[in-house]
Structure 1
Amino acid sequence: MYESLNATNPFLLFADWLKEAEGSEPNDPNAMALATVDESGMPDVRMVLLKGFDDGGFVFYTNLGSAKARELATTPKASLCFHWKSLRRQVRVRGMVERVPDGEADSYFASRPRQSRLGAWASRQSEPLGARGELVEAVESFAERFPGEDIPRPAHWSGYRLKPEVLEFWRDGEFRLHDRLVFRRSWTSEASRWETLWLYP
């Protein structure tokens, strides 16, 4: 059955799988586990939401004071894992990470619901919180500061793009005879291309 997989372009294959997941997953088909490394070398993982992808990579957004942002500032490498239980599929991605341009972050921030934009201003992500009321009060304070829809992106909030070097597509098979297709970026002096490899399950 593995011949049915599109083994030429990983982004086209990912787009096909994500579209199917959008029709079958009960919640957040764009959810992905993001793994980073802290200053001591310990791995750190959490769920985030994919907010865009193209041939350049996979984009997510966060508070720049968060643990993930601090870790990426020290070690700009990360891994992603998408798991679509309804489809019995998984995609793993590894690569370098870079900040998105300010204009790109501004455009995405402006597309978010008003309350989400206020929350980005109010949250001091990953810092100690004495009581939830403090967060609620902060949101209310920024709602007064920005009474309309024009809420600028705070300087402490932006996005990252993971530029994949390796992607692995996993599909469940009967009797644990799964399909595993790996795309690995191969560089030449002028450009890059994708090499593919099938793995034993």
Structure 2
Amino acid sequence: MTSATSDNESKASYTDPVYREALARFRELLSEARASGEPEPTAMTLATAAADGRISARIVLLKAVDERGFVFYTNYESAKAEQLTAHANAALCILWKMLHDVVQVRVEGAVEKIAAAESDTYFASRQRDSQIGAWASRQSQTLRNRTDLEARIAEFEQRFAGGDVPRPPHWGGYRLRPDMIELWFGQRARLHERLRYERVGGAWGKRLLQP
């Protein structure tokens, strides 16, 4: 299958009514989680795989979600970015402990960099100290001591003093384009309700899973 064919199938899936239902339910749950007092409702575990198959996981923040997928931001020279270059598929897991009897959302799919213009727009919305930090941090590299990092922060504060801070070329967003979304609702006796939406052969379907 050509990449153009794959892209066309992915775009067609955006309008699939089952997929749109999955996204609508996710958005409803996210809205409820924000209103519930959940400390960090957009926090999600991102799992990636290195070229040798070794798995890594860490917490990132969900910054956007639409029919194209789930967006997060990071340093393009970080360990996670290196793994996404080697293996452009990933999994997300979101846990809302204060929602109902605990709700978990699992998402899997291919990952791609978002357009530079999208990254520029989001970067411009960040607080200035976070913008400076994106320039100063050589994410995932060895840090000899904290003083070195503070010196780099001071360097970039001086460099951009009196003006806007542009987005570093090594920093931006990724979008996970889902082919699976599972909604997990906690139930008594661990007999949890699991509803899985998944794309198979270009079409989306849904089914219940055993707890």
Cα deviation for residue 26 of structure 1 reads 3.9
Q: Is the 8 A contact 2:75 2:134 kept in 1?
A: yes
Cα deviation for residue 7 of structure 1 reads 9.0
Structure 1 unmatched ranges of 5 or more:
1-5
| Partner amino acid, structure 2, of 1:106 | D
Which residue of structure 2 aligns with residue 146 of structure 1?
160
- C-alpha distance in 1 between matches for 2:34 and 2:64: 14
Q: Does 1:41 align with 2:53?
A: yes
Which residue of structure 2 aligns with residue 195 of structure 1?
205
Which residue of structure 1 aligns with residue 88 of structure 2?
76
- C-alpha distance in 1 between matches for 2:189 and 2:50: 38
- C-alpha distance in 2 between matches for 1:30 and 1:45: 16
- C-alpha distance in 1 between matches for 2:163 and 2:176: 30
- C-alpha distance in 1 between matches for 2:205 and 2:200: 6
- C-alpha distance in 1 between matches for 2:122 and 2:60: 16
Q: Is the 8 A contact 1:121 1:154 kept in 2?
A: yes
- C-alpha distance in 2 between matches for 1:176 and 1:155: 47
Cα deviation for residue 149 of structure 1 reads 4.7
Q: Is the 8 A contact 1:25 1:84 kept in 2?
A: no
Give me the TM-score of the superposition, normalised by structure 1.
Answer: 0.91
Bigger mean CA offset, 128-137 vs 69-78: 128-137
Q: Is the 8 A contact 1:31 1:49 kept in 2?
A: yes
**Paired residue total:** 192
Structure 2 unmatched ranges of 5 or more:
1-17
Which residue of structure 2 aligns with residue 17 of structure 1?
29
- C-alpha distance in 2 between matches for 1:149 and 1:197: 53
More helix by share: 2
RMSD: 1.5
Cα deviation for residue 187 of structure 1 reads 4.2
Partner of 1:27, secondary structure, is: coil
Cα deviation for residue 8 of structure 1 reads 6.3
| Partner amino acid, structure 2, of 1:194 | W
Q: Does 1:27 align with 2:39?
A: yes
Which residue of structure 1 aligns with residue 108 of structure 2?
94
Percentage identity across paired residues of the two chains: 46
Q: Is the 8 A contact 2:20 2:67 kept in 1?
A: no
Cα deviation for residue 151 of structure 1 reads 0.8
Q: Which runs of 4+ in 1 moved over 4 A?
A: none
- C-alpha distance in 1 between matches for 2:163 and 2:21: 40
Q: Does 1:62 align with 2:81?
A: no
